């Protein structure tokens, strides 16, 4: 019991942390200088190796190779021998999953041969030849004695991944300092991964991870980047695996091109027949509109937003978040729930949306699989005025709210309270509560036997509904004069968790504790048998994707499934001063059971483990045993509810009358059974995962470090990098 309490608290911290996590991409990317290959004379063997088989330039799924670089122990309090291992394997598992996901989304003409990264002449070279009449003009004449190799966001790039470098005499052939490394085979993007407690993590405790792009190819497509995971989040198990995967996806998309510093390098390939033919740098990627809103103006993204808002034909830019001189995120008022907004809101509430994918198409570097996009519900079909600071408070859209009441988050997975945050700029929406707002988490539900007056059910298929339902079967309601019962005074509609089941796209049924499934027409308010009050069926929010209708073929929790049981509790009143011994209680239990069986008009086989306490609370579990003939346990449960409500049970035992004072029905799944099952399979997966990761890293490191053997002839990088004259190089 203690243990589960602690788990819950940790979970809370994690969600809080996640909810407050701002992305730091711009600041991070600014600290990294972007290198691109600087050879203006492509080395001869490069040319030949890149002219191979016809069709080799057709786009293929993007191959992201990860390289985990162990952090030096000195870098802080993190102990790589202790928790570090779990941090490392969690990070690597997340990176692999994110990279695999992107393989189905982005494609590029594959890099031919091994991927080799460039060295920065401004780093290794102290001086170059300055006389244009000498053959080695502009080549390195003097090495920088302090050159420590290349790094990317604090990660030292292994020599094996880098081109070599050489020193040039005034005339004649170069003197090799370091040959080309073997490079990395079958790779289009090299991602360095680091788990550390960096000063950035220390300064901003809510940061989960940050990333930057470090090298570009000759057409400016990102070739390499680094992602740094803040050790305190990745080792604490406060974030779920899917949260880390989603945060990784966000960072990876920054490094692959969704970045204020890379927008201006995007290419226009519209005149060419396919990806990367006849491309030129885009004339315009961003502009500010007349109200000062920063927009991404590229055609595919604009079209995708117009389609999303239901205003096709209107040419819109996609609003970007205001983040200083640069901006690397979508405006959250408009694109709440997109993976590329600035505040991470948990994996369950985040989508790899069509507008983000459209933007990747517009970069000119990638072919995009648009069918991999996940539907973005926020603002769908809401028109041109949606998400403006001037309209969000007018009640014109039910995606926004006013005041500070309780309701449902727009995805209906969570209960929410009406509130704002810095990126919403005064607009308000129902944001998940600080704790236990998730309807889809079983562990948020009521412990067995607890009062549940509103009949809530927490379950993976439960959703948040605006309702003011109150059970008609509460203790102490014997007099049944609704006007005298305090909780029946006009109750406000607030968010509550109930089971749902999609019937077709856009239509669904709901179930409240102890009720049958009731059809819930979108936009209508319905009544639930056994309850006072109303339940509002949201329009356009539930069962919108096909994923929802799948639930029908394998119902989430229909009342007849075997993993369910009902617990029926009856509170009895006996004659005053009556007390029963153990044997008498057994006999009374049997008598009550007989009475229940005859009331329900069924067989004994539905009832299991009856018992009664000394203060006369009778409990029995109801489940339809195999071979049991008759109605489903759900129908029986319903029948008993109604009959006990109409007429209390009366048992005459040993000359005294015992009467039911209240009835309580709990719907639960078979806890003990399913929990053990779950525990086992998780343990098993985890072991597998760690094993796979360790093997994966070892194999990879082997390839990267053991092959610094003889290499291809060295090719001189000319010092005409795109960065122009750099401090540190002078002409002699
Ligand atoms: C495109 O995405 C869909 C949906 O994720 C996937 O089923 C399909 O295999 C992907 N196509 C390619 C070529 O990766
Ligand atoms: C590329 O553009 C030029 C000039 O616009 C055109 O002549 C050429 O045919 C184009 N090539 C391809 C492959 O589309
Ligand atoms: C949950 O949050 C409420 C306020 O929002 C607070 O009163 C309550 O103590 C919290 N419960 C836990 C278990 O943290
Ligand atoms: C539930 O809410 C509706 C609409 O606000 C109201 O008319 C009704 O009286 C409420 N019922 C209860 C039982 O509170
Ligand atoms: C028990 O209840 C029945 C029906 O209400 C009544 O006829 C009978 O007298 C009661 N017996 C006792 C001992 O109270």
166 and 244: one domain? no
The pLDDT assigned to 257 comes to 96
Choose which residue among 271, 274, 275 to substitute to test ligand 2 binding: the one with the highest number of ligand atoms within 8 A of its C-beta.
Answer: 271
* 522 pLDDT more than 50: yes
* 573 pLDDT more than 80: yes
Determine contact, residues 178/119, Cβ cutoff 8 Å: no
How far lies 111's CA from each of 56, 253, 406, in Å? 9, 19, 53
pLDDT band at 365 (very low <50, low <70, confident <90, very high): very high
Ligand that lies nearest to the alpha carbon of residue 369, given by its number in the listed order: 1
Q: How confident is the model over 539-558, as a mean pLDDT?
A: 53
Residue nearest atom 9 of ligand 1, based on CA coordinates: 104
* 71 pLDDT more than 50: yes
645 and 496: one domain? no
Question: Whole-structure pTM over 0.75, yes or no?
Answer: no
- Annotated ligand binding at 250? The verdict is yes
Ligand 5 within 6 A of CB of 657: yes
Is residue 381, in this structure, part of any structural domain at all? no
Supply the CATH number for residue 353's domain: 3.10.170
Choose which residue among 372, 374, 546 to substitute to test ligand 1 binding: the one with the highest number of ligand atoms within 8 A of its C-beta.
Answer: 372
Is residue 427, in this structure, part of any structural domain at all? yes
Ligand 5 within 6 A of CB of 49: no
| Dist. CA 338 → ligand 3 center (Å) | 28
Choose which residue among 406, 466, 467, 468 to substitute to test ligand 4 binding: the one with the highest number of ligand atoms within 8 A of its C-beta.
Answer: 468
Q: Which of 249-253, 431-435, 623-627, 694-698 has the highest mean pLDDT?
A: 249-253
445 and 591: one domain? no
276 and 358: one domain? yes
Out of 88, 150, 251, 321, pick the active-site residue: 251
Is residue 713, in this structure, part of any structural domain at all? no
Is residue 653, in this structure, part of any structural domain at all? yes
Ligand that lies nearest to the alpha carbon of residue 578, given by its number in the listed order: 5
Ligand that lies nearest to the alpha carbon of residue 275, given by its number in the listed order: 2
Q: Indicate the DSSP class of residue 291.
A: T
106 and 166: one domain? no
Question: CA angle, 90 as apex, 87 and 94 as ends, to 5°?
Answer: 140
Specify the 3-state DSSP secondary structure of 181: coil
65 and 205: one domain? yes
Determine contact, residues 107/59, Cβ cutoff 8 Å: yes
Give the H or E element holding residue 360: helix 354-362
Domains identified in the chain, total number? 4
Question: CA angle, 200 as apex, 197 and 205 as ends, to 5°?
Answer: 75
Bigger pLDDT: 315 or 635?
A: 315
User: What gap in Å lies between CA 123 and CA 526, rounded to an integer?
Assistant: 71
| Dist. CA 472 → ligand 4 center (Å) | 14
pLDDT band at 600 (very low <50, low <70, confident <90, very high): confident
Ligand that lies nearest to the alpha carbon of residue 494, given by its number in the listed order: 4
The parent domain of residue 599 ranges over 566-665
Residues with Cβ within 6 A of ligand 1? 104, 369, 371-372
437 and 498: one domain? yes
Q: Which of 33-37, 506-510, 625-629 has the highest mean pLDDT?
A: 506-510
Residue nearest atom 7 of ligand 4, based on CA coordinates: 490
Is residue 82, in this structure, part of any structural domain at all? no
Q: What is the mean pLDDT of the chain?
A: 78
Taking only the tens place, the pLDDT of each residue in 184-205 is: 999 999 999 999 999 989 998 8
Among 127, 160, 183, residue at a domain's last position: 183
User: What gap in Å lies between CA 465 and CA 531, rounded to an integer?
Assistant: 15
pLDDT band at 487 (very low <50, low <70, confident <90, very high): low
Taking only the tens place, the pLDDT of each residue in 672-683 is: 333 222 222 222
354 and 231: one domain? yes
657 and 582: one domain? yes
Determine contact, residues 167/143, Cβ cutoff 8 Å: yes
25 and 151: one domain? no
Bigger pLDDT: 38 or 105?
A: 105
Q: How confident is the model over 576-592, as a mean pLDDT?
A: 84
Ligand 5 within 6 A of CB of 175: no
Q: How far is CA 310 from the centre of its chain?
A: 26
User: What gap in Å lies between CA 206 and CA 274, rounded to an integer?
Assistant: 42
Q: What is the DSSP string of 550-608?
A: HHHHS-SS-TT-TTEEEEEEEEEE-STT----HHHHHHHHHHHHHHHHHHHTS-GGGEE
Among 183, 208, 231, residue at a domain's last position: 183
Among 630, 665, 700, residue at a domain's last position: 665
Question: What percentage of the chain reaches a pLDDT higher than 90?
Answer: 44
Ligand 4 within 6 A of CB of 468: yes
* 52 pLDDT more than 50: no
Taking only the tens place, the pLDDT of each residue in 101-157 is: 999 999 999 999 999 999 999 999 999 888 888 888 989 999 999 999 999 998 999
The pLDDT assigned to 460 comes to 93
SS3 of 222-281: EEEEEEEEEHHHHHCCCCCHHHHHHHHHHHHHHHCCCCHHHHCCCEECCCCCCCCCCCEE
Is residue 244, in this structure, part of any structural domain at all? yes
Helix residue spans in 20-129 (DSSP H): 25-30, 44-50, 84-103, 121-124
Determine contact, residues 548/505, Cβ cutoff 8 Å: yes
Atom of ligand 4 nearest to the CA of 490: 14
Taking only the tens place, the pLDDT of each residue in 400-434 is: 999 889 999 999 999 999 999 888 999 999 999 98
Ligand 5 within 6 A of CB of 722: no
| Dist. CA 497 → ligand 4 center (Å) | 17
Taking only the tens place, the pLDDT of each residue in 648-663 is: 888 888 888 888 877 6
Determine contact, residues 257/34, Cβ cutoff 8 Å: no
598 and 540: one domain? no
Residue nearest atom 9 of ligand 4, based on CA coordinates: 490
Is residue 535, in this structure, part of any structural domain at all? yes
The verdict on whether 251 is a catalytic residue reads yes
Nearest Cα to 147, choosing from 170, 182, 178, 184? 178
| Dist. CA 701 → ligand 5 center (Å) | 85
Q: What is the DSSP string of 425-439?
A: TT--EEEEPSSS-BT
164 and 30: one domain? no
The pLDDT assigned to 483 comes to 54
Atom of ligand 1 nearest to the CA of 103: 14
**Bridge-partner residues for 384, per DSSP?**
none
Is residue 192, in this structure, part of any structural domain at all? yes
């Amino acid at each position: 019991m203690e243990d589960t309490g602690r788990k819950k608290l940790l979970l809370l911290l994690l969600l809080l942390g996640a909810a407050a996590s701002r992305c730091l991409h711009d600041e991070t990317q600014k600290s990294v200088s972007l290198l691109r290959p600087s050879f203006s004379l492509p080395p001869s063997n490069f040319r030949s190796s890149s002219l191979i088989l016809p069709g080799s330039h057709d786009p293929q799924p993007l191959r992201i190779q990860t390289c985990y670089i162990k952090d030096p122990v000195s870098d802080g309090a993190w102990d790589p021998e202790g928790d570090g291992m779990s941090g490392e394997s969690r990070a690597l598992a997340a990176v692999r999953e994110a990279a695999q996901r992107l393989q189905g989304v982005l494609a590029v003409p594959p890099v031919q041969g091994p991927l080799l990264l460039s060295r920065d002449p401004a780093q290794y070279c102290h001086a170059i030849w300055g006389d244009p009449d000498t053959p080695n003009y502009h080549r390195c004449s003097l090495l920088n004695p302090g050159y420590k190799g290349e790094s990317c966001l604090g990660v030292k790039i292994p020599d094996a991944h880098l081109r070599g470098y050489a020193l040039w005499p005034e005339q004649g052939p170069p003197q090799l300092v370091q040959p080309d490394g073997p490079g990395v085979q079958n790779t289009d993007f090299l991602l360095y991964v680091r788990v550390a407690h960096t000063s950035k993590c220390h300064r901003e405790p809510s940061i989960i991870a940050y990333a930057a792009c470090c090298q570009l190819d000759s057409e400016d497509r990102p070739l390499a980047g680094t992602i740094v995971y803040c050790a305190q989040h990745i080792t604490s198990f406060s974030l779920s695996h899917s949260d880390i995967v989603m945060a990784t996806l966000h960072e990876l998309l920054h490094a692959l091109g969704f970045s204020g510093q890379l927008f201006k390098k995007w290419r226009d390939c519209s005149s060419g027949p396919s990806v990367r033919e006849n491309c030129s740098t885009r004339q315009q990627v961003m502009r500010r509109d007349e109200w000062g809103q920063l927009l991404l103006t590229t055609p595919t993204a604009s079209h995708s937003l117009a389609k999303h808002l239901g205003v096709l034909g209107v040419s819109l830019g996609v609003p970007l978040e205001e983040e200083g001189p640069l901006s690397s995120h979508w405006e959250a008022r408009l694109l709440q729930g997109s993976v590329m907004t600035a505040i991470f809101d948990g994996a369950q509430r985040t989508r790899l949306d069509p507008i983000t994918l459209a933007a990747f198409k517009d970069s000119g570097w990638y072919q995009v699989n648009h069918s991999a996009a996940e539907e973005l519900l926020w603002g769908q079909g809401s028109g041109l005025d949606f998400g403006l600071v001037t309209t969000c408070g007018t009640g014109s859209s039910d995606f926004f709210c006013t005041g500070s009441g309780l309701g449902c988050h727009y995805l209906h997975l969570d209960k929410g309270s009406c509130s704002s945050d810095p990126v919403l700029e005064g607009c308000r929406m129902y944001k998940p509560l600080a704790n236990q707002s998730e309807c889809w988490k079983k562990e948020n539900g009521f412990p067995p036997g607890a009062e549940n007056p509103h009949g809530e059910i927490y379950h993976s298929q439960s959703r948040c509904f605006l309702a003011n339902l109150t059970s008609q079967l509460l203790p102490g309601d014997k007099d049944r004069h609704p006007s005298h019962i305090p909780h029946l005074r006009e109750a406000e509609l607030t968010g509550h968790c109930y089971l749902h089941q999609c019937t077709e796209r856009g239509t669904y049924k709901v179930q409240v504790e102890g009720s049958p499934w009731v059809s819930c027409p979108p936009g209508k308010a319905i009544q639930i048998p056994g309850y006072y009050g109303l339940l509002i069926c949201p329009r356009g929010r539930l069962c919108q994707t096909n994923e929802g209708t799948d639930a029908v073929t394998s119902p989430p929790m229909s009342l007849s499934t075997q993993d369910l049981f009902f617990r029926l509790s009856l509170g009895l009143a006996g004659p005053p001063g009556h007390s029963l011994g153990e044997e008498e209680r057994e006999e009374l239990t049997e008598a009550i059971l007989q009475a229940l069986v005859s009331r329900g008009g069924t067989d004994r086989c539905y009832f299991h483990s009856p018992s009664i306490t000394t203060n006369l609370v009778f409990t029995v579990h109801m489940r339809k045993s195999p071979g049991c003939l008759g109605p489903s346990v759900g129908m029986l449960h319903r029948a008993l509810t109604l009959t006990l409500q109409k007429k209390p049970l009366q048992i005459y035992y040993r000359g005294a009358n015992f009467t039911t004072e209240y009835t309580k029905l709990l719907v639960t799944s078979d806890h003990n059974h399913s929990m053990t099952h779950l525990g086992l399979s998780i343990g098993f997966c985890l072991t597998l995962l760690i094993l796979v990761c360790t093997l994966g890293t070892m194999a990879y490191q082997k390839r990267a470090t053991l092959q610094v053997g003889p290499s291809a002839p060295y090719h001189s990088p000319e010092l005409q990098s795109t960065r122009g004259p750099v401090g540190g190089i002078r002409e002699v």
